[in-house]
Amino acid sequence: MVKDKHKFDRQSERRYSGENVNINMACELLIQTGVRGCSENTPVVSNINTNTNNGSFQQINSPISLTLYHQNIRGLRGKVNELLSQCIPAFPQVLCFTEHHMNQVELQHTFVDSYNLGASYCRTSHVKGGVCICVQDGLRCTNFDLAKYCKDKDFEACACKIYLSSQRICIIAIYRAPSGNFDMNFTKLDNILKHLYAPTLDLIIVGDININYLVDSTRKRQKLYSKPII
**Cβ burial 152-161 (10 Å sphere, 16+ → b, else e):** bbbbbbbbbb
Provide the pLDDT for residue 19.
31
Percent of the chain with pLDDT over 90: 57
Mean pLDDT of 76-103: 93
Q: Looking at the predicted structure, is the pLDDT value of residue 91 above 80?
A: yes
Half-sphere exposure of 151 (CA within 13 A, CB side): 13
pTM (predicted TM-score) = 0.72
Q: Looking at the predicted structure, is the pLDDT value of residue 93 above 50?
A: yes
Closest CA to 24 of 63, 65, 58: 63
How many angstroms separate the CA atoms of 116 and 55, rounded?
Answer: 33
Q: How confident is the model at residue 90 (pLDDT cuts 50, 70, 90)?
A: confident
User: Using an 8 Å Cβ cutoff, are 157 and 149 in contact?
Assistant: yes
> Regarding predicted confidence, which is higher, 151 or 9?
151
Provide the pLDDT for residue 215.
80
Would strands 94-98 and 115-121 be described as parallel, antiparallel, or unpaired?
unpaired
Q: Looking at the predicted structure, is the pLDDT value of residue 29 above 70?
A: no
User: 3-225 belongs to which CATH class?
Assistant: alpha beta
Q: How confident is the model at residue 37 (pLDDT cuts 50, 70, 90)?
A: low
Q: Looking at the predicted structure, is the pLDDT value of residue 216 above 90?
A: no
pLDDT tens track for 115-140: 999 999 999 999 999 999 999 999 99
Q: Where are the domains of the chain?
A: 3-225
How many angstroms separate the CA atoms of 32 and 2, rounded?
Answer: 6
Q: Looking at the predicted structure, is the pLDDT value of residue 154 above 60?
A: yes
Q: Looking at the predicted structure, is the pLDDT value of residue 187 above 80?
A: yes
Q: What is the largest CA-CA distance in the chain?
A: 51
Q: How confident is the model at residue 65 (pLDDT cuts 50, 70, 90)?
A: confident
How many angstroms separate the CA atoms of 109 and 103, rounded?
Answer: 10
Beta bridge partners of 160: 143, 171
